[in-house]
Structure 1
């Protein structure tokens, strides 16, 4: 490690993808689970890129790394659910973050909405969405989705992804609404 004249550590510089990965590894992000029904069955993935875009129309955005597998199923679906997760869902967030893990089992608490999307019971909110726009950026796709409606449940302590680990944040249910 090198030091500046005043004795403090000198900044370390990284380029390109390594710089971006390091920067966002230390930037906490909310965790979402995006699910859809496809002709081959239900698909889902964990996302830390969900963000509010605007209210006219009500829209959110997210990105996926590639347009195959679960991401491809979501991108091809007429509609999907964006579940905003809290600390009760760290295990399922981890399962859906790893390809090939067991998903949509009865003991995980899945139901299906009348519109067909897989719905995780006991989530704070699941936003029903449809794609308005998508933009390919290298091997990733950025999606802007219209929010068609929401299914609200009970709340619990927020959860963020920071430095490759899911963390629970302090929470006071008296601060709601």
Structure 2
């Protein structure tokens, strides 16, 4: 049985309303990486989306206040890593402000275009940034896939739901 929406409890648009609604939306978890002048940068993203098959393109959002934004704002390439359910600690590390994201226990290597490629992920891509679209306090980054590997570490995907990392339930 589905609940009938109660229009009397509707609230005006606000950041809190948006966050509350999207806590109900389960999203896949990815880590975006790039090479900066002072070393690698990266962040956890739940906004990854497939945009186009021809040419193959993806999108993700990044806050302009994020520590990695200065690098993302000017780099030509990024790495996109789809995380497995067992990688919730990796997701938390890349989501944590001020963390040394590439220190142990994070395992990575330099990949094509100098992009940091994380070990053990479900799948990864290297993408060329096509454009960055202003969207409030974020930018939506559109990027064309250059190369990647869909056959990584295996296992179920990591999800983000109700403000926490979780997995699929049967």
TM-score, length-scaled by structure 2: 0.88
- Distance of 1:143 and 1:67 partners within structure 2: 15
- Structural mapping, 1:1-150, within 5 Å: 10-11=6-7, 12-16=9-13, 17-66=15-64, 68-150=66-148
Equivalence for 1:161: 160
- Distance of 1:9 and 1:49 partners within structure 2: 26
Segments of 5+ residues of structure 1 without an aligned counterpart are 1-7, 172-177
- Distance of 2:70 and 2:24 partners within structure 1: 28
1:111-167 Cα shifts (integer Å, max 9, x gaps): 111421111111111110011121112211011110111034131111110011001
- Distance of 2:106 and 2:12 partners within structure 1: 41
1:71-100 Cα shifts (integer Å, max 9, x gaps): 221232121100011112100101111110
Segments of 5+ residues of structure 2 without an aligned counterpart are none
Shift of 1:14: 2.0
- Distance of 1:45 and 1:9 partners within structure 2: 36
- Distance of 2:129 and 2:47 partners within structure 1: 15
Which structure would you say has the larger Rg? 1
State how many pairs are aligned: 164
Tell me how large the CA RMSD over aligned residues is.
Answer: 1.9
**Contact 2:112–2:126 (8 Å) recurs in 1:** no
**Contact 2:77–2:128 (8 Å) recurs in 1:** yes
TM-score, length-scaled by structure 1: 0.85
Which contiguous aligned blocks of 4+ residues in structure 1 show a shift greater than 3 angstroms?
8-11
SS of corresponding position for 1:54? strand
